[in-house]
Structure 1
Amino acid sequence: MALQQIIEQTVTGLGFDLVEVERSAGGLLRVTIDLPWLPDAPQPEQAVERFITVEDCEQVTRQLQFALEVDGVDYKRLEVSSPGIDRLLRDERDFERFAGEVIDITLKEPLGAAAAGQVAANRKKFRGQLEKQPEGGWQIVWSDEPPPKPGQRVSKKRVAAPLQALGFVLDEIREARLAPIVNFKGRRSKANPQD
């Protein structure tokens, strides 16, 4: 059986999703896991958001060590972890899961002259909110205005910079990741993001 299949069967059998398998120099085998995402599952108002814990990684590590030994897979070190705050978005399912979140995208090709009036024609990297377009495809919405610094006074009369949007399909993307934005004021509820 192939390495990817062995790992995927083991991880999904324990109730987790396999995000990535990576082999590195020196015999390192890195496995990234996440909790399953069920798009149609109803979310109760008071639901506690659950994340991958150290115990989850430990459980998967023990099971993978056994499975890899049985199948005779050669590796020196096994590392099991969560995707982290800058999680890579790989397929349509990931984009649907994280719609509404701030992401960083890198295009395969620069925008070209078609968008030269709005942004630099050679620009390939963008950070903004991911949105699904009604006619299909995706878009990223952003403002080039820098966010105010903590403690900076902002005039109520100040006119905000206009929002810009870029529509794209997944084939145009070289890489897409969740933006690693850390909020030290605690979690905001999705029902009331102004808290």
Structure 2
Amino acid sequence: MRQSIEEIVTKLVLPFTEREGFELVDVEYVLEAGHRYLRIYIDKEGGISLKDCQTISNAITEKLDDIDPIKENYFLEVSSPGLDRPLKKDSDFERYKGKDVEVKLYKPLNGQKQFEGNLIGLFDGDIIKISVDDNVLEFNKKEVALVRLSVKI
């Protein structure tokens, strides 16, 4: 089975992020407005600085050039996942239990595709539960397009 670019880059980047004490949040390779972007999201306790992003960018650029997993031209971006970070890994759902989240579905449920509530957790690796106005809502992870932390201003 052919590995995706994201999988190859994740394996490449992980030793560098771990060595520097960062969490590798996500790797994505996307086409936007005719340009390809390789985005690497990192985090650490207390947040990420521009210097942190530069450290990881410098550390992996040569390795990326050596293994050359991407044949097309692309832009490399290393950044923080932001305050409204997406929750993707099982550990994200554990870490952010009790926090407010937004859940976006691929298809409407009772005429609604977006929900906001307090994260109860991820159960059996498949079921996301949130509390909305004293009601517990359950979503099958396969039907969820995005779960991210909700930012209140």
Shorter-chain TM-score bucket reads 0.7 to 0.9
Partners of 1:142 and 1:171 lie apart in 2 by 21
Superposition map of 1:101-180 within 5 A: 101-111=99-109, 121-132=110-121, 138-143=128-133, 163-180=134-151
- 1:28 partnered with 2:26: no
Superposed CA deviations along residues 83-140 of structure 1, whole A, max 9, x for unmatched, are: 00111111321111111111000234444xxxxxxxxx22232101111489995421
CA contact (8 A) 1:10 1:67 kept: no
| Structure 2 gap segments, 5+ residues each | none
Inter-CA distance 15–166: structure 2 relative to 1 (3 Å threshold): same
Percent identity of the aligned residues? 31
CA contact (8 A) 2:90 2:122 kept: no
TM-score of the superposition, structure 2-length normalised?
0.74
Which structure shows the higher strand fraction? 2
Inter-CA distance 70–170: structure 2 relative to 1 (3 Å threshold): same
Give the equivalent residue in structure 2 for 1:50.
46
SS of corresponding position for 2:112: coil
Residue 28 of structure 1, CA deviation: 2.7
CA contact (8 A) 1:102 1:129 kept: yes
Partners of 2:88 and 2:123 lie apart in 1 by 21
Q: How many residues align?
A: 141
Partners of 1:138 and 1:22 lie apart in 2 by 23
Inter-CA distance 33–135: structure 2 relative to 1 (3 Å threshold): closer
CA contact (8 A) 2:129 2:138 kept: yes
- 1:63 partnered with 2:59: yes
Partners of 1:77 and 1:141 lie apart in 2 by 39
Partners of 1:134 and 1:90 lie apart in 2 by 14
Structure whose CA Rg is larger: 1
Partner residue of 2:24 out of 18, 21, 24 = 18
Give the equivalent residue in structure 2 for 1:158.
none
- 1:9 partnered with 2:7: no
Superposed CA deviations along residues 150-184 of structure 1, whole A, max 9, x for unmatched, are: xxxxxxxxxxxxx33213343442321111223xx
Which structure shows the higher helix fraction? 2
SS of corresponding position for 2:52: helix
Give the equivalent residue in structure 2 for 1:152.
none
Superposed CA deviations along residues 50-70 of structure 1, whole A, max 9, x for unmatched, are: 111111111111101122123
Partner amino acid, structure 2, of 1:85: L
Instruction: Indicate the RMSD between aligned Cα atoms, in angstroms.
Output: 2.8
